[in-house]
Structure 1
Amino acid sequence: MSYDPRRPGEDKSQRAQTRERDDAQVEKAHRPDALILHEIIRREGEEEMRRTALALSLSGFSAGLTMGFSLIVPGVLKGHLPHEPWADLIVSMGYSIGFLIVVLGRQQLFTENTVTPILPLLTERTSGAFLRVVRLWSIVLVANIVATIVIASVLAHTDAFKPEVREAFAEISRHTIEDPFWTTVIKAVFAGWLIALMVWILPATGSAAPFIIILMTWLVSMCGLAHIVAGSVDAYYLVATGEIDLAKYVTGFFVPTLLGNVVGGVTLVSVLNFGQVAPDMEGQDRVGV
């Protein structure tokens, strides 16, 4: 049976208004398609690349400091929970707190930028666009890492946390440098993939955004994946406490994790998702849309 929008007692003009209202409700409830998501993120990327170096540096530094909570909260939880298998799931959830604050606070996180500025680059494909991406990446990555070194050093030399919590910090941090180089690369690819997917779907989530952030970043921690900023807090904590040297931090964590995060974010999300909307974009260009 077909849908009849007419209602008893409605004249022609009232039925037209009813149809318009129904159409508006359907449009409001309709999920944005890939082309709309692409355009939202592309415009955000263009806005980010237009920001001044000072603004990007301060935002990136704030994000790096905030990511300290992705070690603090799991450490506090681990220091107080019993040593049971189920406790690891709760500890892993604490990892999401830093990401939640950073993303909702619109602070600059390097792994988010494996998507937002890449879409304008794929659309424009000029040397100027490429240089703008390199500028953004360089500023944000340096700011993020310097801030993680600062917060990790503070955590390593403060008495603000009980001994059992500081031991939990060290135990959590050891997992970031325990794998061989290429194993860390693979773990970082998956982490970059998940974080970039989170960025891609967030515009469609509305009020559910905090839940999506928690879920996606909880998966990163629960699966033991490698994230360049959150993991830098952990790895440098071991440097600051004298457990490893700076060379181990660079070769055992920084280089393989950076490589994997970039590949996971840029290749598996930005390029593939751009590929699915490119034909539609070309079609709109041909018809003058």
Structure 2
Amino acid sequence: MTEKVKESGHREQDVALSHTEEKDVRDNQSLNSVSLYAIVHKEGLEELQRPMMSLWWSGVAAGIGISISILAEGILHHLFANSPNQFVIENLGYTVGFVLVIVGRLQLFTENTLSVILPLLSKPSFNMGFCIARLWFIVFTANMFGTFLAAFFSFSLQSVPPELVEGMTAISEHYAKLSPSDAFSYGITSGFIIAAIVWMKPSVKHSQILMIVIFTYLIAIGNFTHVIAGSTELFLLALQNKISVLETLSLIGATLLGNIVGGTGLFALLAYGQVVREIEK
């Protein structure tokens, strides 16, 4: 049997599914690889059809929302300043913003390194490539605007108490010490993990929060780089003149490329490769 999903509002694209696999997609239970692919593939097509302003405001909200991770880390850094386990505890705060953004279905750029790529891999076309580039540009720009707003309100407008801003600054300084090549390399791992979260979400419908917490905590505790959450840290440091604009942009650019390589270049290709023979039946 075949499930038909619309591509860019004009054509229908077939994903070959057995009767059992179609039931899996409907129920979101006992999902196999083909069922997971079909769900993420369909979500990607739906994202590509969303209006520009919807993507923009959702992306801005995601940028602000992901900045809650840095605030939560700053709070825990301040509260556990004298604890020998400070590093382990404060990094739990990193998971908070990701839970807000992913469960809230806001537009986070690194999630789109997988979902919108699967339709392109299954049926490449210039139009599909253009739609993906459009979505990526809008969402990434909106995410950056949101994280800058969060940093500006936290420091410049003093919407966060000074002692907590100090904590946020302290946990951000490790990022500024990285070279662009390190930011790129660590970003590959982070991009892969975020794409894995997107892939696993349908399988863990009733325990998504726990799954998000576990894997984003791994990003934090391993000091891997995430371009959206990390941009809040860099903007916060730049507003305090602790790093230059050039350093900020170079680290953001390097991390962006790493996240794309990890999410699209590795995970998306592997996810597609494991089902390509089955969906062509």
With the length of structure 1 as denominator, give the TM-score of the two structures: 0.86
Specify which of 245, 257, 278 is matched with residue 280 of structure 1: 278
- 1:256 alignment partner in structure 2: 254
Paired amino acid for 1:210: I
Query: Percent sequence identity over matched residues?
Result: 31
Query: RMSD value over aligned CA atoms?
Result: 1.6
Matches within 5 A, 1:188-227: 188-227=187-226
CA distance in 2, matches of 1:97, 1:184: 22
CA distance in 2, matches of 1:97, 1:146: 20
- 1:186 alignment partner in structure 2: 185
Matches within 5 A, 1:30-109: 31-109=30-108
CA distance in 2, matches of 1:181, 1:68: 22
Paired amino acid for 1:256: A
Q: Compute the displacement of 1:160 (Å).
A: 4.2
1:272 to 1:243, Cα distance in 2 relative to 1, 3 A: same
Matching of residue 157 in structure 1 with residue 174 in structure 2: no
CA distance in 2, matches of 1:47, 1:232: 27
CA distance in 1, matches of 2:28, 2:203: 11
Question: Larger radius of gyration, structure 1 or 2?
Answer: 1
CA distance in 1, matches of 2:143, 2:163: 28
CA distance in 2, matches of 1:234, 1:65: 12
- Asked if the contact 2:29–2:203 (Cα under 8 Å) also holds between the matched residues in 1, the reply is no
Q: Compute the displacement of 1:83 (Å).
A: 3.1
CA distance in 1, matches of 2:88, 2:96: 14
Cα shift readout 1:127-151 (whole Å, capped 9, x = no counterpart): 1111111011000000000111111
Paired amino acid for 2:273: G
- 1:246 alignment partner in structure 2: 245
Paired amino acid for 2:269: V
Q: Compute the displacement of 1:30 (Å).
A: 6.1
The structure carrying a bigger helix percent of its residues is 1
1:163 to 1:222, Cα distance in 2 relative to 1, 3 A: same
CA distance in 1, matches of 2:107, 2:160: 28
Q: Compute the displacement of 1:163 (Å).
A: 3.4
With the length of structure 2 as denominator, give the TM-score of the two structures: 0.88
1:30 to 1:242, Cα distance in 2 relative to 1, 3 A: closer
The structure carrying a bigger strand percent of its residues is 2
